Amino acid sequence: MADFHKQWQIDALFVADAALYTEDNLLMIVSFRWVSRVPGTLTAAK
């Protein structure tokens, strides 16, 4: 997402599947507007 954002320079809402939901990714995209499903294995999702 960061590379895409650099290439296109758009103000957008990024939509991703549960693969986005990792600690490293969340720290990297803190300044983006995004929505994602959380992995079904998370206690909060159950």
Which residue's structure tokens are 């758009």? 10
The model carries a pTM of 0.59
Look at residue 34 in the predicted model and tell me its pLDDT.
86
Q: Which residue has the higher pLDDT, 38 or 16?
A: 16
Q: Are 36 and 19 in contact (CB under 8 A)?
A: no
The rounded distance, in Å, linking the Cα atoms of 1 and 38 is 17
The rounded distance, in Å, linking the Cα atoms of 12 and 34 is 8
pLDDT grade, residue 44 (50/70/90)? low
Q: Are 26 and 44 in contact (CB under 8 A)?
A: no
Q: What is the mean pLDDT of residues 16-28?
A: 86
Look at residue 45 in the predicted model and tell me its pLDDT.
64
Mention every residue, 6+ apart, whose C-beta is less than 8 A from residue 39. 18, 21, 45
